[in-house]
Amino acid sequence: MELIFLKPHLAWLIPVLVLLSLIWFKIKKTGYVASTTLSLSPSAFLHPSLVRQLPRLLITFSIILLVLAAMQPVIPLAEQEVESQGLDIAIVLDLSESMQELMDRENQEIEQPEEIEMMTMTQQGITRLMTTKDALRDFIIGRRDDRIGMVVFADNAYIVSPLTMDHDFLLHYLDMVDTNILRNERKTAIGNGISLANGLLLRQQGDERRGQVIMVYTDGEHNHGMDPLEVLEQLYLSNVKVHLVGVDLEDRIKERENVKLLINKIVDQGGNYFDANTRDDMFLASAGIDELEKGRVVTREYVQQVPVYQWFVISGLILISLGLGLRAFPYFSNYS
């Protein structure tokens, strides 16, 4: 560990203060009355014990330590390794027009439903998109160590946010997402959404490869653009895991062959399918993905010029206290 002093010019105080302390010890002597009996003592006892010099040495060393503290010692670069959970996650969100329909329609009170085909929360109740956004908000907040990005799709796919650790930034854009962004796009290009999310993961994977996950939220079936089965095959070779959440997916859609093939393909490649027909189901689906996807990454935190003057101050105060304490005993008094 490297240690440097920000004020090395104060080093001249060390020899000066040590010299002054020695002069002070020499001048300051304890008064006493004695009669000599040196002629009666063996020569072995004529030399003073070095132990009696201990208070003087302790105080001298404490002076040196306190001057070193005044020189502002620092560690120029402290590196700390923190092991934590971390993944790269791309959220793929369906913004087709049907996402504005009510979530769990049967359990919401609806006035004159025959007159309203597309309902928003301000009109009649909680929509599929709003429910999905609420669940995603909780998911994002809980994934402190993950880089998360977002892709939306309808006829085409678009990046809303690149992978980021700034989750406040991501939540801001999640709040802004609604179907009006892609108002004129009425189809469901699931393959395009997954493909764009994979490209986002590849472009930002960096030197240290992290676990990569794609979460797809849709209330429909693929009917436009790239074949999602072919896209999934490419992702499997890249070791990217895909999870699919069916947002209030109607039974007639679940029974279609292309939907069954998509779900089976995802499950066969290690992903999961979650059937979210109610608001509670949606939150359980996001919580299930959260529980399944745990990664591990080692991050390094760097702190410039960590001050360590307290090491010297504490040590100096301890030594000076010991030195002064020992001088209270007659054995350590200076008689010479």
Task: Please report, as a single letter, which amino acid is at residue 244.
Answer: L
- At residue 105, what are phi and psi to the nearest 5 degrees? -55, -40
Beta bridge partners, 127, equal: 102
Pairing mode of beta strands 157-164, 147-153: antiparallel
State pLDDT tens for residues 92-124.
999 988 888 887 655 555 444 444 444 444 445
CB 73 within 8 A of CB 3: yes
C-alpha distances out from residue 105 to 117, 119, 136, 178, 285, Å: 12, 11, 20, 19, 19
Q: Which two tokens stand for residue 6?
A: 């920000």
Categorize the per-residue pLDDT at 13 as very low, low, confident or very high, splitting at 50, 70 and 90: confident
C-alpha distances out from residue 250 to 25, 148, 207, 219, 225, Å: 95, 29, 43, 8, 22
CB atoms within 10 A of CB 255: 9
Q: What is the DSSP string of 51-100?
A: GGGHHHHHHHHHHHHHHHHHT-EEEEEEEEEEEE--EEEEEEEE--GGGG
For position 162, what pLDDT does the model report?
A: 93
- Average pLDDT (25-45) is 57
For residue 32, pLDDT over 70 is answered with: no
Q: Which two tokens stand for residue 251?
A: 């039974």
State pLDDT tens for residues 70-80.
888 887 765 65
Which of 49-53, 91-95, 144-148, 158-162 shows the lowest mean pLDDT across its residues? 49-53
- CA separation for the pair 267, 271 (Å, rounded): 5
Beta bridge partners, 247, equal: 276
Q: What angle do CA 284, 285, 291 make, to 5 degrees?
A: 85
Where do the domains of the chain lie, and which CATH numbers do they carry?
4-29+49-77+303-332 (no CATH), 86-295 (3.40.50.410)
pTM: 0.60
